[in-house]
């Protein structure tokens, strides 16, 4: 028993639990926003399990491929693969198994749903991590596309098709992700420079990066609000979302008018909370 618990404790950081949980919640919100007349508990369990497996699997594969740059970054040098506490071969097998199981489970629920889940893994692992991350700062766009796949896939599972609302929700996540990634690239600029990873700040400067963060936050809130209106969420929930969207936009304008690292990090935290609450409101 101690051996099993020890292995779980060792491998668990590879899953990035907070990131996986947030993206899983976006998927649940996408599915629930379809307002299926009948939701079987088996479908919901399959949905959650397939999302966790595919998101975790792609995360493990990313960390497997990036173990070399993680070693030279202060923020990530303590990760299990960077420190050599987990053999690279084991991590690769672990990531592949999680991804395959997630996609197969998704295909069992719906061929369209499973295909979109696979597309998310492909964009995240192959296009973003393997191909573009070390070559261009614009790789974050493809990372954002991958991040929007869980909500798009789950919405498609609920409706049986890729509809306009699903695309709006997916785009909202795509525009939210730069708030996260660009903030980190500014906050840990020395780390990214040491790892020779091109970033927006190193390519275009901090001022343009802050404006990009603010603009993407505004777009994300607008897209979520529009989607909420289209799915006709309850009036009280819509008012709550409107207040939060207004707060996010004010925060974003402050960052553009009076840029500072403190305001920028505050916007990052508020945007993360906003996305979480917005998705919960859509799910309810």
Residue 36 banded pLDDT, cuts 50, 70, 90: low
pLDDT value for 61:
97
Minimal CA–CA distance to 6: which of 112, 80, 71, 68? 80
Q: Mean per-residue pLDDT for 119-127?
A: 96
* Domain range list for the chain: 2-283
CA angle 273, 136, 88 (to 5 degrees): 80
Provide DSSP, 161-172. S--HHHHHHHHH
Residue 184 confidence (pLDDT): 86
Residues 76-120: tens digit of each pLDDT? 899 999 999 999 999 999 999 999 999 999 999 999 999 999 999
Distance separating alpha carbons of residues 135 and 141, to the nearest angstrom: 13
Q: Please state, in angstroms and rounded to a whole number, the distance separating the CA atoms of residues 146 and 138.
A: 14
Q: Which whole number is the average pLDDT over 156-178? A: 94
Q: What is the CATH code for 2-283?
A: 1.10.600
């Amino acid at each position: 028993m101690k051996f099993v618990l020890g292995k779980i404790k060792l491998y668990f950081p590879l899953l990035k639990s907070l990131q996986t949980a947030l993206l899983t919640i976006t998927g649940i919100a996408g599915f629930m926003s379809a307002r299926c007349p009948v939701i079987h508990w088996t479908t919901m369990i399959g949905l959650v399990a397939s999302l966790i497996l595919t998101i975790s699997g792609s995360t493990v594969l990313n960390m497997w491929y990036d173990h070399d740059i993680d070693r030279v970054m202060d923020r990530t040098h303590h990760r299990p693969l960077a420190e050599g506490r987990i053999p690279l071969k084991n991590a690769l097998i672990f990531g592949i198994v999680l991804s395959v199981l997630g996609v197969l489970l998704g295909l069992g629920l719906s061929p369209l749903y499973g295909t979109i889940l696979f597309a998310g893994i492909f964009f995240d692992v192959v296009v973003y991590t393997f191909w573009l991350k070390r070559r261009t700062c614009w790789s974050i766009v493809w990372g954002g596309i991958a991040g929007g796949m869980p909500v798009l896939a789950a919405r498609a599972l609920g409706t049986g098709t890729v509809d306009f609302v699903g695309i709006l929700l997916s785009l909202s996540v795509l525009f939210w992700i730069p708030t996260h990634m660009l903030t980190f690239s500014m906050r840990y600029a020395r780390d990214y420079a040491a790892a020779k990873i091109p970033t927006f700040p190193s390519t275009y400067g901090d001022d343009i990066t802050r404006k990009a963060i603010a603009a993407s936050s505004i777009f994300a809130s607008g897209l979520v609000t529009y989607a909420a209106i289209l799915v006709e969420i309850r009036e009280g929930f819509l008012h709550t979302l409107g207040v939060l969207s207004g707060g996010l936009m004010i925060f974003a304008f402050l960052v553009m008018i009076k840029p500072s690292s403190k305001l920028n990090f505050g916007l990052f935290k508020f945007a993360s909370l906003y996305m979480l609450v917005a998705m919960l409101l859509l799910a309810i």
